[in-house]
Amino acid sequence: MRHRELWDERGSSTVLAVGLIVAMLSVTLAASAVLSAVRSAHVARSAADLAALAAAIQLQESPDPRGACGEAARVATRHDARVLSCDVGTSGVVTVTVATSIPLRLAGVGPDHAEGRARAGPG
């Protein structure tokens, strides 16, 4: 190879390195978005479990459905979740649905929150 041909290839490694860095950053960002959604789903399910248990305990202490759902909302709020619905059945079973936000989303793709649902009570 002549010296002139080698001179023409100068800088090609830089372009390749920049392309690899961009590809790796894209994969990392996508993985972070997926992990953020998975984490939010786990938090939502855990918050729903805890909120339903708290509501069922409150219902056992005082048979007031509003007080039980209020306790569910308080517990959910402490876990960065909000109660979407709280239903107290006639048998004392409490069903709670909560939502948590997904902090990292890619260009608005996918849902903006994760939901969790749980039931607790006698029987």
Mean pLDDT of 49-66: 93
Mean pLDDT of 69-73: 95
Strands (E), 62-112: 82-88, 94-101
- Tell me what percent of the residues of the chain surpass a pLDDT of 90: 67
What is the rounded CA–CA span in Å between residue 61 and residue 24?
55
pLDDT tens per residue, range 3-47: 556 566 677 788 889 999 999 999 999 899 899 999 999 999 999
At 3 the pLDDT is: 57
Among all chains, which residue has been given the structure tokens 């800088």? 11
At 74 the pLDDT is: 96
Q: How confident is the model at residue 107 (pLDDT cuts 50, 70, 90)?
A: confident
Average the pLDDT over each of 21-35, 62-76, 109-123 and give the range with the smallest value: 109-123
| Residue 60 confidence (pLDDT) above 60 | yes
Strand partners, 101: 113
Domain positions in the chain: 3-120
What is the rounded CA–CA span in Å between residue 40 and residue 45?
9
- Residue 48: CA atoms inside 13 Å, Cβ hemisphere, count? 22
At 110 the pLDDT is: 76
Q: How many CB atoms lie within 10 A of CB 82?
A: 14
The pTM of the full predicted model, rounded to 2 decimals, is: 0.79
